[in-house]
Amino acid sequence: MKTMKNVLRTVLCLTILTSTISCSNDDDGTTPAIQKSFTTNADTDFFINSDGTVNLTVSGAFQDTSSSNVTSRGFVYGTSSNTEVSDTNTVGASGPQDSVTGNILNLSSGETYYIRGYFEMSDGSYFYGNEIQASTDVDASSTRSIVLGMEPNPFFVSTTELTPQVNVTEVTKESPTEIGFEYSLNDDLSDSTTVMVSGITGNITLSSYQEVISGLTSSTTYYIRSYVKYADGTSTDGGASIVAHTTN
């Protein structure tokens, strides 16, 4: 009888132990940790607009194991630390989760901006990632560039007028404030005259520009190339991209 009691006691202990282990495993499997992170990279890129404002490009990566509860992702920015989301201080985060980017446009120059990634949750709350600082006190005089290519044929030609065309195919770091044409009777562009393209508002973009040059002499060949001017007064011409147009 004593042996039978010992056996029953052993079976009961094993049953309790097995049940405890099983419950522990069930708990681990049904309550996974919800992980969220949004890392904003410290390095940013900039572009100076023709009106002096600055665009910043930010990048980062995020992780979210509860994406069904996230309604939007982006970057929030402001001139004070720990800026929170409002109606006018966010940009969307686009791209794959390991390499998202956002473009913050038309920021005041000479400022320090605080930027961090965020998730907006379905309940109206927000999750914020790490914060970085980015300055708009920037100078592109040594890094800016532009590529100008003259069209071989004028848009319009008459006995006293020519309308040359230029294609802008690359603008880096800063937009010029002015674009136009330089023309001369000499193929080395000595003793030249300039005419500015009129009616431009905003940045010089990847586009085609043209302008009428008037007061010319009939049946005469003119040598023409394009130029741009930046806010600091520096000018850049189209280099070897020179065309020869002859009036009627």
Residue predicted with more confidence, 154 or 14:
154
- CA nearest 180: which of 204, 168, 197? 197
Give pLDDT, residue 35.
82
The pLDDT, as a whole number, for residue 34 is 59
**Cα 208 from Cα 22, distance rounded (Å):** 72
For residue 207, what pLDDT is reported? 98
Question: Residue 7 pLDDT > 90, yes or no?
Answer: no
Instruction: List domains and CATH numbers for the chain.
Output: 36-135 (2.60.40.10), 145-246 (2.60.40.10)
Confidence of residue 51 (pLDDT cuts 50, 70, 90): very high
pLDDT at 232: 97
Q: Which residues contact 213 (CB under 8 A, 6 or more apart)?
A: 161, 162, 163, 164, 181, 183, 195, 222, 224
Closest CA to 73 of 88, 63, 83, 87: 63
d(CA 131, CA 118): 10
The tokens 């005089």 sit on which residue?
A: 141
Distance separating alpha carbons of residues 167 and 180, to the nearest angstrom: 11
Tokens standing for 74?
Answer: 């982006």
* Mean pLDDT computed over 225-248: 96
- The predicted pLDDT at position 195 comes to 98
Q: What is the pTM of this model?
A: 0.84
* SS (HEC) of 44-106: CEEEECCCCCEEEEEEEEEEECCHHHEEEEEEEEECCCCCCCCCCCEEECECCCCCEEEEEEE
The pLDDT tens digits of the residues spanning 114-127 come to 999 999 999 999 99
- State how far the Cα of 171 lies from the Cα of 65, in Å rounded to an integer: 40
pLDDT in tens, 57-95: 999 999 987 666 899 999 999 999 999 999 899 999 999
Q: How confident is the model at residue 4 (pLDDT cuts 50, 70, 90)?
A: very low
Structural element, H or E, at residue 10:
helix 2-30
Phi, psi angle pair for 134, to nearest 5°? -135, 135
How far is residue 144 CA from its own chain's centroid?
A: 16
Q: pLDDT averaged over the chain?
A: 89
Residue 69, amino acid = N
The answer, yes or no, to whether residue 210 has pLDDT greater than 60, is yes
The per-residue pLDDT for 88 is 93
